[in-house]
Chains A and B, each alone.
Chain A
Amino acid sequence: MKKHTYTVINTPIHNIDGIAKITGRAEYTFDITLPRMLHGKILRSPYPHGEIIHIDTSKAERLKGVKAVLTGKDTLGRKQGIWRRFKELCDEEILARDKVRYIGEPVATVAAVDEDTAEEALDLIEVEYNALPGAFEPLEAIKEGAPQLHEHAERNINVTRHIEWGDVDEGFKKADYVREDWFRCSSQAHVCMETHCAVADYTPEGKLTVYTSTQSHYYIKVLLAEILGLRENDVRVISRYTGGGFGSKFELDSAQFCCSILSMKLCQPVKIVLTREEEFSATKRRTPMFYYIRSGVKKDGAFLAKEARVFTEGGAYTAMGATALYLTGFFQSFPYVWPSYRYDGYRVYTNTAPTSAMRGFGAPQATFCAETQIDLIADELGIDPIDIRRKNAMYPGYEVPGQATIQSCGLGQCLDKIDDWIKSRGKLPPNRGIGVSAYGFMSGGIFNWFDTPYAFSSAVLQINIDGKVDLFVGSQDMGQGSNTTMAMICAEELGVKVEDIRLHMGDTETCPVDLGAWGSRETLMQGNAVKMAASKAKQQILEFATAKLAPNIVYDLDIKDGWIHLIARPERGLSFYDVVKEAIRGKDGQPIIARGHYTPHRKGMISPAYSFGVQAIEADVNPDTGKITLKNCVTAHDCGQVINPLGVEGQLEGAIAMAAGYGFTEDLPMDEGKILNPNLVDYMLLRATEMPETKVMEVETYEPEGPFGAKEAGEGLTNPTAGALGNAVFHATGISIKNLPITPEKVLNALKEKKNK
């Protein structure tokens, strides 16, 4: 590997939005108030499945302070969805007109002078439903004769996916040991601290401005324009600060849509903020999955064949579920070399809140099942958990047949580091175990179901007379720190300081298109676009500098820290700031402008690059209560070249908290489609007191496809934790729980069962 020396990259840089955030000045959508602004609320269906017979809004309209009450009949009645290439997958109206399909589905919306009045008005809207029987569990809903949600989807099958390579049947024939298991992976709520919210401001000129908390202002602009019958560029979406996203905020949501139609009706700004209860029960969530896995291996642990089948609980609409269905199938094989693999996925419509993208995007479920089974296989064959993983690990240059080519891959080194750490722990006390899980993830998706005609990422850069750089990006910072990452990439490439960059983001009117912050795509994709723009600008400056310095033609020039110099003779140079001044003068007074863009071409089916890692969790299990206590969580992680160590560390620790929650405390239990814990008292998030000691060991690789060798470090880290936790319980007690979350009650029951055997 080539060693690179950087001035900005890999230094712990303060978050460029930091001061605004720690002084309370960062203005989130939640904080926005516009002159004459009204407040909106949404009436939601109490039935999981039913026909809307009639809606009477007259009483609500008469309430003092109410300005408008709208129902689906007041809309164009268009169905929308983010899978725009496939019309049948655009199946959600947002304001239901004839039929409701989940508890919480919007049926009417109100604008009033204040929130209390709007809420009061909701009580006055009379909706007559004809309740229909519901289908709640995918394994039931797919049966012949189950209540059908959508006319077009027989047996409620929404999407199917098939992935196959190698000769699976032959592989099983050759296997010395075959094992099959069923797993159930639960749902999970994103729980962004800022709930979904939007302020819409429609003016008589026919322009709609929407301030919103989102992961992709571009998607929201296009989706809103389409459903409202406006031209794309008559809609402006502004999103400066986003209070968390985690996958929940890149589809069009009820707050954005309802306040837009209200504002269009009234020509007055309208704000809608979802309550925490709405957020839990009526926004999208992680996809529950029922997994069947059969694996065939050699006596020595070599993987031969794997077959996986999954039925996912889709909820009422497609949302991003089709992507999750593909990715879970792909990552079920990850990060190993399976000579043969067959996957069949079925996404089933159910009368529950739609399931969609959430950090890890189908991979945490897959990784939990796969890694749990690998430990069971290793145990059966008497092989060390690290050894079996090492034997089958992916390596640089490996080609996943028909799917992907792995370029950089530090999985081997990660396994070594974790192995050393486990050995350093020595003999563990009783009822304590260490479990490991390997994982990997994509650095941005290649798929274009959205059907954008634009480049996946673009950046525009302008250098001003004082050397200050205006960088316009389309990426969205929702907390993951992409603003800082982009400023760092730009500063490094251009050879200036991070303080020299003035970043512009979060506004469709001024920023170029980027698909947004999902699928861990920003660092690689937006990063490449920024790097290209900076590199082109640098070229322009170096042309001027070369003319001034007149070096021997064999010398190359570079810029570092604002100093333009001969690479071979660093002391010979000029100030960047001086050259910029003259360059602009030389360009007839035009600032230096450059553009960059990135779209993956010929990079397989999934992603241009993959991160890898191994995590070990040490946990205690109380044999009397089944309670699990996390002790240590150690991760060896290959995210290519680290751009900002502070950022990577934050992503890792945050992912552990979220993924450990998925593993043992978080769940959305339901009764006939009703979520039973839609509040932060009953939905159990880890708090500081539950966090284990965390340790990160970076394994540096260089990813040729990424900016400065970087790849993703955001979502992949949510993949291993549930599996590592389950395996820790297995090694502590000998029981393996295949049904998430691993609650103390499940552990205690399994312990009892084991004792009775």
Chain B
Amino acid sequence: MIHNFNYHRATTVQESLSLLEKFKEDYKIICGGQSLLILMRQGLVAPENLVDIKSVKEMSYIDYDPKKGLKIGAATTHREIEKSPEIKKNYPVLVEMEENLASVQTRNWGTIGGNLAHGDPASDPAPILIAMTATVKLANTNGERSLLLEDFFVDIFETALEEGELLIEIQVPVPLKKSAVAYEKFNIIKNHQGIVSVAASITMAEDGIGCKDARIVLGAAAATPLRAGEAEQMLIGKKIDTKLLASVGKKASEECDPVSDIHATETYRRALVKALTIKIMKKAWEQAKTSGRVGGKHT
């Protein structure tokens, strides 16, 4: 049963921020409501005031600039990202990810900002965006601040958003030459949340042989999306081969901190992290070798 609340619809960022400021003590932001309404129905969340930002038009956009990179408004729906020709061309892995996120219905209404602000360690966009070194722009009535997305996640369902703060934009840098990002989630039912997921980005050295930079980001393998830092280090400056990838996978599986639940034991999650890391690194590596762009499908 959804408890009573006062409903406030904002139509601009300014209006949203003033409402947040006004109800400081007791409010909840709703955008698509795809995650929030489930919690409200269970009575787990029962705010006095509900601030609706779904119709804030100025927070719904996709901007791509070949020099500055990609900017996505927080209220942009999953479906808009999935269908964006710009994103398909420059960040195809994002489209691929979106196609496997929940259902068409949820993607039509749920937003990227809501997804990230929800702070679910099993979020699909989070690991990819972290692998792409994305930043998020947060705002309150006093101004704005930027944060690396990897610093945005604090704990399970907990983010760096402070009282009165709104997530307004996600920024993704221009893909580097000879780099690629790949992603996969493991699940039994295709578009369910991942039991674990792995995103990997690889940037090849100028010589096209060595690995200049690497990021491995694990989803549902800890309380927050997690960078497997030691595993990444094993790659940097090295020539990648199957043997190295096997030990990188092993390292990632040791670094993560997964839980046991009805879907998988901790041991199994670690095994999955290992298998997926090897597979995804290999995919990213192969694409990076041949590609000038992220995702590597379009050279």
Q: Kindly state whether residue A690 has any CB partner on chain B within 8 Å.
A: yes
Q: Which of chain A's residues have a CB closer than 8 A to the CB of B189? A: 665, 684-687, 689-690
Answer yes or no: B64 CB below 8 A from chain A CBs: no
Known: A748-B268, A748-B271. A682 touches B263 (CB 8 A): yes
Write out the residue numbers on chain B whose beta carbons fall within 8 Å of the beta carbon of A685: 189
Question: Contacts of A744 on B, CB cut-off 8 Å?
Answer: 188, 268
**Beta-carbon contact of A625 and B186 below 8 Å:** yes
Q: Is the CB of B190 within 8 A of A745?
A: no
- Interface positions, chain B 80-132, Cβ under 8 Å from A, are none
Bound-state Cα–Cα, A744 to B186, Å: 11
- How many residues on B have C-beta within 8 angstroms of the other chain's C-beta atoms? 18
Beta-carbon contact of B262 and A676 below 8 Å:
yes
Q: Which A residues are in CB contact (< 8 Å) with B1?
A: 115-116, 119-120
Quick check: is A624 within 8 A (CB to CB) of the other chain? yes
Interface residues of A in 638-687 (CB under 8 A from B): 664-665, 669, 676-677, 681-682, 684-687
Q: Which of chain A's residues have a CB closer than 8 A to the CB of B278?
A: 624
Interface residue? B265 (CB, 8 A): yes
B279 within 8 A of A: yes
A468 at interface (Cβ–Cβ under 8 A)? no
Check B264–A627 contact: CB distance below 8 A. Answer: no
- Known: A624-B279, A689-B189. Contact between A745 and B262, CB under 8 A? no
Residues in chain B near residue A627, CB distance under 8 A: 186, 188
**Chain A: CB-nearest residue to B189:** A684
Q: What is the chain B residue whose CB lies nearest that of A122?
A: B1
Instruction: Across the interface, name the chain A residue whose C-beta is closest to B276.
Output: A625
- Per the bound structure, the CA–CA distance linking A119 and B279 in Å amounts to 49
Chain B residues near A690: list those with CB within 8 A.
Answer: 189-190
User: Which single residue of chain B is at the shortest CB-CB distance from A745?
Assistant: B268
A625 close to B188 (CB less than 8 A): no
Quick check: A684 and B188 within 8 Å, CB to CB? yes
A665 lies within 8 A of B265 (CB)? no
How many residue pairs link A and B with beta carbons under 8 A? The number is: 45
Q: Assess the A745–B265 pair: CB atoms within 8 A.
A: yes
Closest Cβ of chain B to A747, distance in Å, is: 11
Of the A-B pairs whose beta carbons lie under 8 Å apart in the complex, a sample of 26, sorted by A's number, is A115-B1, A120-B1, A624-B278, A625-B186, A625-B271, A625-B272, A625-B275, A625-B276, A665-B188, A665-B189, A669-B262, A681-B192, A684-B188, A684-B189, A684-B192, A685-B189, A686-B189, A687-B189, A689-B189, A689-B190, A689-B191, A690-B189, A745-B264, A745-B265, A748-B268, A748-B271
* Proximity bits, A109-135, B CB within 8 Å = 1, else 0: 000000110011000000000000000
Complex interface bits, B182-215 against A, C-beta within 8 A gives 1, otherwise 0: 0000101111100000000000000000000000
Q: Closest CB-CB distance, B137 to chain A, in whole Å?
A: 31
From 163 to 192 in chain B, residues with beta carbon under 8 angstroms from any chain A beta carbon are 186, 188-192
Docked complex Cα distance between A119 and B278 (Å)? 50
Tell me whether A677 and B275 are in contact (CB under 8 A): no
A120 to B271, CA, bound (A): 45
> Which residues in chain B, 126-143, are within 8 Å of chain A measured between CB atoms?
none
Q: Which residue of B lies closest to A667 (CB)?
A: B262
CB distance from B253 to the nearest CB of A (A): 12
Give the Cβ gap from B26 to chain A, nearest Cβ, in Å.
21
Instruction: Name which residue of chain A comes closest to B275, CB basis.
Output: A624
Q: How far is the CA of A286 from the CA of B1 in the complex (A)?
A: 30
Shortest distance from the beta carbon of B159 to any chain A beta carbon, whole Å: 22
- A364: shortest Cβ distance to chain B, in Å? 20
A115: B residues at CB distance < 8 A: 1
